[in-house]
Amino acid sequence: MDSSFAIAGGRTLLPEGLVEDGRIVVEGAAISAIGDAPAPRRWDAGGLLVLPAIVDLHGDAFERQIMPRPGVSFALDLALADTDRQLVSNGIATAYHAVTWSWEPGLRSERVAHAFAEALRRLRPILAADARLHLRWETFALDAVPVLEGWLAAGGLDLLALNDHTPEMLRRSENPSDLLRYVERTGLAPDAFRALVGSVWERRDEVPAAVERLAGRAGAHGVPLASHDDDSPQTRRKYHALGCRLCEFPKTVDTAREARATGSHVIMGAPNVVRGGSHLKATSAAALVRERLCNVLTSDYYYPSLLHAPFVLARDGYASFAEAWALVSANPAVAAGLSDRGAIAAGKRADIVLVDDRGPGLPRVVALFVAGKPVYLERDALPRAA
């Protein structure tokens, strides 16, 4: 059977802007033409937005599928399969699963990181979204360095982020409510957790050399490198010198400005936009978008936020809709070095999402095509014609 088809009649977002009554022709996994090229089948997108599918560089909401309640865990295969359904129903065609490898036991342990990577490798052929591994390495997890060097050499990592939460965890372990969160995640008793974080902190002098070593290996293997929660322009310059061109969740406007001035991509969370601010009272993502200091949004801890954030930004005047949608499609593709996707253009991968935006404040995915295959489709929502 001929695998080519057209998506026609919708308001189509092309690199040059939104086009009424657009037409896209797909052959196999790629977009072959924009316009009136012939195709044996046609998907009627009348009344819908036709957009490049979402690229999510940092999503860790899957942790709730693994451990929905403290101490209650489910099989990783089940968690990944359910997460995949959430992704495609929210228009996410490319998903970087942000797995944390910490010095902690429990949910963010070495054991879970290994198991998750293996489950992802095993299930990848049957997942609807293009699933990739974003490894969040806690820089005090020093014993992980030789293993991660091996993963980098073997092509097992798609993105590496340098996380440094240990000083904060040491400080917060004296607060009963914060300590409870760590205890629930690790399964340790309070005194045992305090003792563990204290012993980890004693190795702090070893951390800078380990960071430099692993950053160098990531660069040598062409793996995109991110720094996380940079708290000042000085911190950003330090990580930029190590090759970190992705600046995740900068804590100040000046830090974001430094990142953009030196050519780095500034990544913020879409939940920050949708909720009207950071749940941690940190930098406003919408304000950074308005100042052109944030160029990528990620799902962070809530997958639906990536679909909704561009509509919020456009509605509230922070950016045009085309600019806002680029934050979740074209820009993250560029940041990750994925030159084959992120835009609706001839030769690009046919990752296309159709969205019904008629409901005020509640856009809804009607269909998602990943590499030319319809992986999500609302029943009877998209008429087809021969």
The domain limits of the chain are 5-51+343-385, 53-335
**Distance in angstroms (rounded) separating the CA atoms of residues 232 and 255:** 5
Q: Which residues of 10-35 are buried (b: 16+ CB within 10 A; e: fewer)?
A: bbbbbeeebbeebbbbbbeebbbbbe
HSE-up (13 A, CA, CB side) for residue 11: 11
- Tokens standing for residue 252: 């100040």
pLDDT tens digits for range 149-171: 999 999 999 999 999 999 999 99
Q: What is the CA radius of gyration of the chain?
A: 21
**Are 241 and 262 within 8 A, CB to CB?**
no
Q: Are 166 and 197 in contact (CB under 8 A)?
A: yes
C-alpha distances out from residue 358 to 10, 92, 267, 362, Å: 13, 20, 29, 8
Separation of alpha carbons 164 and 157, rounded Å? 19
- CATH homologous superfamily of domain 53-335? Metal-dependent hydrolases (3.20.20.140)
CB-based contact 25:37 (threshold 8 Å): yes
Q: Which residues pair with 300 in a beta bridge?
A: 59
**Cβ density class 149-171: b for 16+ within 10 Å, e for less:** bebbeeeebbbbbbbbbbeebbe
CATH of 5-51+343-385, one of 1.10.10.10, 2.60.40.420, 2.30.40.10, 3.40.190.10: 2.30.40.10
Beta-strand relationship, 225-228 and 42-44: unpaired
What pLDDT score does 57 carry? 98
pLDDT of residue 281: 73
> CB-side exposure of 351: number of CA atoms within 13 Å?
26
Long-range contact list for 357-362, CB < 8 A, 24+ apart? 357/48, 357/49, 357/311, 358/47, 361/311, 361/315
Rounded-to-integer distance, Cα 348 and Cα 14, Å:
12
**Confidence (pTM):** 0.95
pLDDT of residue 380: 66
Q: Give Cα 164 to chain centroid, integer Å.
A: 19
Look at residue 383 in the predicted model and tell me its pLDDT: 56
Q: What is the pLDDT of residue 382?
A: 62
H helix intervals, 38-144: 63-66, 76-89, 110-123
Q: What are 226's two structure tokens?
A: 């991110």
Q: Which of 181, 150, 148, 176 is nearest to 163 (CA)?
A: 148
Residue type for position 324: A
pLDDT of residue 1: 43
Residue numbers in the chain where pLDDT is lower than 70: 1-2, 280, 379-386
